[in-house]
Amino acid sequence: MADYSTKGSYVEGGKEFVRDTSYVTTRITRDGRDGFTPEAGRYRLVVARACPWAHRAVIARRLLGLEEAISMGMCGPTHDARSWTFDLDPGGRDPVLGYERLQEAYFALDPEYPKGITVPALVDTTTGKLVTNDYPQMTLDLSTEWVDLHREGAPDLYPEPLRDEIDAMARKNFTEVNNGVYRCGFAGSQQAYDAAYDRLFTRLDALEEHLSTRRYLVGDTITEADVRLFTTLVRFDAVYHGHFKCNRQKLTEFPALWAYTRDLFQTPGFGDTTDFVQIKEHYYVVHTDINPTQIVPKGPDVSGFLTPHGREELGGRPFGDGTPPGPPPAAEVVPAEHWVPQG
């Protein structure tokens, strides 16, 4: 069963996992340079709660208050070799696009689309065609190009004076952590795994030190850098520690990183968009090359995410001059037992 969160990526000569980072790079911008401008109701963000790359877009959309401007379609946590599917919807079809598979939006754009069918994806509802699946640029554009449709009090996740620092932090964390866990999990040789493992924990050690004296990664507010790191850290003990053999230590054994992740988890938009049930089902069921039995572990107990974190003592203002987002739309609420399972 192909993993469409990594399809297009490969293991070079049976050695090192290499992620394909070429995407459909069409952008939705205020100046319409690529033929698309922000427009309330025109686009549908297709995600899967299981996917860390899609989770970033879900968080950014919620923090910025774009729920009414950009509708959201939800794929199930597992899929077959062809595509992510809308099996969570009645009749197995997305109610807005009418598709059974996300693949249909890609093929509407290019009938011979050669790469992986990935989430997140922004689809033009007027044509049913994929606009972009360029997830790193997507969240930046939600912050900078959709400002006219942001909620009142939306935070600035990509403040101009800090962009170079945010970009540098995000790049380093992508290579060593976000993608680093995959390099461990899909390593094709012992040597490749050992190298990936060492790089991952070297960076986690550096982040532990960095976050021991500051509340957020860059500046004194939540930024794009925090959104990007969170979606890997929140999955670490549930899947990466065991499933991807990232087992030097658990997240809960890093005092600063664990407190930092709890701090974000307890911030509206982060924990309440996290679905541990779907996360575990995706990784343990889809990755049959790593887990051929498809058995999904019962643990770990993640109720600790709601314990006090004490990070307020470091100062910082989560939303800067803005305000927290309100409750999520009723149709997008993650069942409580999925994001804070008990025992």
Which residues are the active-site residues?
51, 182
Rounded CA-CA distance 49/54 in Å is: 7
Beta bridge partners of 46: 73, 121
Rounded CA-CA distance 54/47 in Å is: 5
Task: Flag whether 84 is marked binding.
Answer: yes
Rounded CA-CA distance 199/172 in Å is: 11
CB of 101 closer than 8 Å to CB of 89? no
Structure tokens at 276: 């541990």
With vertex at residue 294, the alpha carbon angle to CA 58 and CA 20, rounded to the nearest 5 degrees, is 50
CB of 50 closer than 8 Å to CB of 281? yes
Rounded CA-CA distance 203/130 in Å is: 35
- Among the residues of the chain, which ranges form H helices? 52-64, 103-109, 135-144, 163-173, 180-185, 190-210, 224-235, 255-265, 276-286, 336-339
CB of 301 closer than 8 Å to CB of 341? yes
Rounded CA-CA distance 27/138 in Å is: 8
In angstroms, the Cα distances linking 30 to 60, 118, 141, 144 are 18, 25, 10, 9
Count CB neighbours of 308 within 10 A.
Answer: 10
Rounded CA-CA distance 18/11 in Å is: 6
Structure tokens at 88: 């969570």
Extract the annotated binding site for glutathione. Answer: 84
Extract the annotated binding site. Answer: 84
